[in-house]
Chains A and B, each alone.
Chain A
């Protein structure tokens, strides 16, 4: 029986080939080309060293990593509090709340940037509120804080979904046991809930980090002055026509993003499927 079901070589080739040809022609080969071009500048292969030795590039690298780290931390804390709460408690309007929280799921970076301008721009809501109380209008949309806010805005929806799914699988008996043994709510959170959510934190945190490292649209909308790596790549390529350096920076950026995802996968094991 199983013999009749086996896929022949020809059949697997027919199933695989369309995707394989497309992927090779438009991703693998271009990337290979880009890799060699990254060493074709004046610096040769040491273009990769320049990322660490050149003060400008190095600062941009650190800024990018710092923004991504802060974004990840904020997103995880916010999503954990709201996600666990929403998973645990049924109340009228809950479904609506969950819908609203996941609505920005597919906003492109440029739109997220515009949302930040709406909140913290020159005519933004936060400024209005401060002005109402007679204070000075804070305008931070066009700074690193604004960028961070945009990335958090972008990351909350998918992180909340992952954490809600993980919270659903937590065993409530463990919490009851902890409580019956006299654990305070804080102890239950620290020793039972947080460890249970760890795999979800790791996987969604990695996606959050990788997205914040590589995203371009939000920074582009907010300001060309924000010196994060994706913006630097863009200016190297378009303004300085330094394709070799842009390529080297792209590969380094890609490596950081990929590494974050790969580390998370090996840390979380096969128990957590990466969220789409």
Chain B
């Protein structure tokens, strides 16, 4: 059994090392963004100077990314939730094919999708130079995550029973969709929404080709800063990105824990809060 204990300690040490591999560079870059001179080290003192410099030069990218993420969320809700419901209701071969097709923009490298958009719509200058051009790419990339997330919830709840109940009380199709289906897949919508916003805020592969000098998103600005500015500024910029993305990720982690499925009507407190 001594052997087993040694093995266990080794596994534990290994896991700690992996954790350090992931976390240490994050901490280093945060510190670098707050250090007067990274080359000299922490003894050169701490400062918010770099953060302010980034804020002055790049805050537009932050606002554009947030705006894009929200617009992307609105579109994926509008396009994705009805589609997920249809797919949940008709689990035939066609439904599987549609699901498969939707995943293509995720499976295919972002560069390819972006090139496609450019050759097809690059000639429409008004569209090409607007943020809507980037938005289209982001919606293509995030839509399957919304659909899957809602579909996952819809396929474990007993939709037919709930809908039959409502129908027997005289609820029509659209009324059932609004009052039965939507409230019941709230968890899926929430998880999908967080996923969509997180992915949109971080998308680079497509955005790098789709952006123009006037439509720079946060990751595009980051790439700029890494390539041309001093390490402290790149780090401070990364710090701002972390501040934006960490709350999203932590909420996603909480949601990813085993969720309770309930048939109960949504309680009013949550309903009102949302």
Interface residues of A (CB under 8 A from B): 1, 4-5, 7-8, 11-12, 14-16, 18-19, 22-23, 26-27, 29-31, 33-34, 37, 78, 81-82, 85-86, 89, 97, 99-111, 113-119, 123, 125, 153, 156-157, 161, 185, 210, 213-217, 220-221, 230, 233-234, 237, 243, 246-247, 250-251, 253-254, 257-258, 261, 274, 276
- Interface flags for B202-237 (1: CB within 8 Å of A; 0: not) read 111100110000000001001100110001001100
B241 touches A (CB below 8 Å): yes
B164 touches A (CB below 8 Å): yes
Partner of A102, one of B102, B223, B253: B253
Q: List 25 A-B contacts (CB under 8 A).
A: A5-B160, A7-B86, A7-B173, A11-B173, A16-B83, A18-B78, A18-B83, A19-B83, A23-B140, A26-B136, A27-B105, A29-B120, A30-B113, A31-B113, A85-B12, A85-B14, A97-B15, A100-B23, A103-B26, A107-B245, A108-B203, A118-B25, A214-B112, A233-B115, A258-B108
Q: In the bound complex, do residue B226 and residue A81 qualify as a contact, i.e. CB atoms below 8 Å apart? A: no
Alpha-carbon gap, A153 to B19, bound state (A)? 10
Alpha-carbon gap, A24 to B222, bound state (A)? 32
Q: In the bound complex, do residue B109 and residue A230 qualify as a contact, i.e. CB atoms below 8 Å apart? A: yes
A119 — nearest CB in chain B belongs to which residue? Answer: B25
Q: For A5, list chain B residues within 8 Å (CB).
A: 160, 163-164, 167
Which 5 residue pairs spanning A and B have beta carbons closest together? Answer: A214-B109, A30-B116, A30-B120, A250-B112, A108-B202
Q: For A107, list chain B residues within 8 Å (CB).
A: 202, 245
Q: In the bound complex, do residue A78 and residue B86 qualify as a contact, i.e. CB atoms below 8 Å apart? A: no
Q: In the bound complex, do residue A114 and residue B85 qualify as a contact, i.e. CB atoms below 8 Å apart? A: no
| Smallest CB separation, B104 vs chain A (Å) | 7
Q: For B149, list chain A residues within 8 Å (CB).
A: 276
* Interface stretch of the complex, out of B1-9, B45-53, B54-62, B266-274: B1-9
Partner of A125, one of B24, B234, B250: B24
Alpha-carbon gap, A19 to B151, bound state (A)? 15
Q: For B109, list chain A residues within 8 Å (CB).
A: 213-216, 230, 250, 253-254, 257
Q: For A37, list chain B residues within 8 Å (CB).
A: 119
Alpha-carbon gap, A157 to B21, bound state (A)? 12
Q: In the bound complex, do residue A109 and residue B204 qualify as a contact, i.e. CB atoms below 8 Å apart? A: yes
Q: In the bound complex, do residue B7 and residue A111 qualify as a contact, i.e. CB atoms below 8 Å apart? A: no
Partner of A30, one of B119, B139, B205: B119
Q: For B82, list chain A residues within 8 Å (CB).
A: 14-16, 18-19
**Which of B32, B104, B163, B199: most chain A Cβ within 10 A?**
B104
Question: Given contacts A1-B164, A125-B28, is CB(A221)–CB(B120) below 8 Å?
Answer: no
Interface size on B, residues (CB 8 A): 90
- Interface flags for B91-131 (1: CB within 8 Å of A; 0: not) read 00000000001111101111111011101110000000000
Q: In the bound complex, do residue B198 and residue A106 qualify as a contact, i.e. CB atoms below 8 Å apart? A: yes
B79 touches A (CB below 8 Å): yes
Q: In the bound complex, do residue A114 and residue B163 qualify as a contact, i.e. CB atoms below 8 Å apart? A: no
B220 — nearest CB in chain A belongs to which residue? Answer: A110
Partner of B226, one of A23, A99, A106, A110: A110
B120 — nearest CB in chain A belongs to which residue? Answer: A30
Q: In the bound complex, do residue A217 and residue B116 qualify as a contact, i.e. CB atoms below 8 Å apart? A: no
Q: In the bound complex, do residue B119 and residue A250 qualify as a contact, i.e. CB atoms below 8 Å apart? A: no
A276 — nearest CB in chain B belongs to which residue? Answer: B145
**Which of A30, A100, A103, A153: most chain B Cβ within 10 A?**
A30
B238 touches A (CB below 8 Å): yes
